[in-house]
């Protein structure tokens, strides 16, 4: 008869690896709920709906991101509170960015934010040709966000998270968007997504590759 001591038996037991939840500094994750037009969480593979009023963006990679743009053809300045989500993939119950819209995209990931920048024919997502555009962010003139009820998520940290601070400049054939995913004792997420410099433009506020109108 084979006898195995308790100590030997314990040595044979392989414990399941512990999974630790990632913690974020204060002010990084959004604390509210999803907007009333949005699904409860970011979801890939939802039905395409080109009249959707969903306002949930995801910024995950160079080929999986969303932008806010008008629901009907109108200037950004006159529609900033009602912009809707347009995505490169069917997701979030949002509208799909039509083929031929984007002519150049670059993607940047740092320890503190993720950023997508690009060019395109933005008339295909209801921004008039020549519209100088504007800034969209979770604050807005009245503190309710532009658009109202807008949310922004990213899975860049390993799982989908709803982030508190983000900013999007869009108009005149160009866009840039930053989602602030971390903070430290020197710079808060709000600092790194500072939302009052929109007149300075993408190149100043969100440095990155704007030299080539092509996918990098």
pLDDT, tens digit, 9 for 90 and up, residues 10-63: 443 444 444 445 788 889 999 988 999 999 999 999 999 999 999 999 999 999
Task: Map out the domains of the chain as residue ranges.
Answer: 24-205
Is 26:182 a contact under the CB 8 Å cutoff? no
Distance CA 144, CA 149 (A): 7
Residue 202 near residue 168, CB atoms below 8 Å: no
- Sequence-distant contacts of 31-37: CB under 8 A, at least 24 apart: 31/164, 34/151, 34/162, 35/148, 35/149, 35/150, 35/151, 36/149, 37/84, 37/149
pLDDT beneath 70, residues of the chain: 1-21, 141-143, 198-199, 212-216
- Burial class of 104 by CB neighbour count within 10 A (0 to 12, 13 to 18, 19+): middle
As a whole number of angstroms, the distance between CA 1 and CA 130 comes to 87
């Amino acid at each position: 008869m084979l006898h195995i001591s308790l100590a030997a038996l314990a040595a044979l037991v392989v414990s399941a690896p512990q999974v630790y939840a990632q913690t974020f500094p204060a002010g990084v994750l959004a604390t509210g709920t999803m907007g009333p037009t949005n699904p409860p969480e970011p979801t890939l593979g939802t039905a395409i709906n080109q009249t959707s009023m969903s306002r949930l963006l995801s910024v995950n990679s160079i080929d999986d991101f969303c932008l806010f743009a008008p629901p009907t053809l109108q200037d950004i300045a006159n529609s900033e509170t009602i912009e809707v989500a347009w995505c490169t993939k069917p997701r979030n119950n949002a509208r799909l960015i039509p083929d031929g819209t984007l002519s150049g995209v670059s993607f940047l990931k740092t320890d503190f934010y993720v950023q997508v920048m690009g060019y395109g024919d933005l008339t295909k997502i209801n921004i008039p040709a020549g519209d100088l555009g504007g800034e969209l962010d979770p604050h807005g003139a009245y503190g309710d966000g532009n658009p109202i009820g807008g949310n922004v998520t990213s899975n860049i940290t390993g799982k989908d998270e709803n982030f508190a601070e983000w900013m999007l400049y869009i108009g005149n054939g160009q866009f840039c968007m930053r989602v602030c995913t971390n903070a430290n004792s020197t710079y808060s997420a709000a600092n790194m997504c500072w939302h009052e410099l929109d007149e300075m433009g993408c190149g100043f506020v969100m440095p990155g590759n704007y030299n080539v109108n092509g996918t990098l």
